[in-house]
Amino acid sequence: MALVTMIRETKTDWEGGYFPLTLQFDDNYPTTSPSCKFPAGFFHVNVYDSGVVCLSILGDGWKPSITVKQVLVGIQELLDDPNPNSAAQHRCYELYKKNMPEYKKRVREQARRYPSRVQSSCENSPQLDIVVAF
């Protein structure tokens, strides 16, 4: 199991948030994908209420050649650019499609619920810092 901290430093609605993500690898890895999970109740179009991430490369699109880095980059991209065609939370999907200002407000509220606990060494970097602890 790996615990990953995803920190948004750029000017996005996710800015300043510290988002704990758990990657669980079973005995069949890399034949099967890792399970990737945010805390239960995480607000995002492509994250189930349980916290499980809904991302194609973690399901039918999995190949043993996909690296952990590719998984993390895919999740990073999903945070900023949700896929409404693969919605995992109906409430998030409805806000995303019909009330973008309220959706963005909820994202900013969530970022405040998970304040950053790790200082970035690249404070002016437009990229996501990923801190992995085993």
- Report, as residue numbers or ranges, the catalytic residues: 54
| CA–CA distance, 43 with 124 (Å, rounded to integer) | 26
Which tokens sit at 67? 């690296």
- DSSP 8-state secondary structure symbol assigned to residue 18: E
Alpha-carbon span 27 to 133, nearest angstrom: 20
Q: How far apart are CA 52 and CA 35, in angstroms?
A: 7
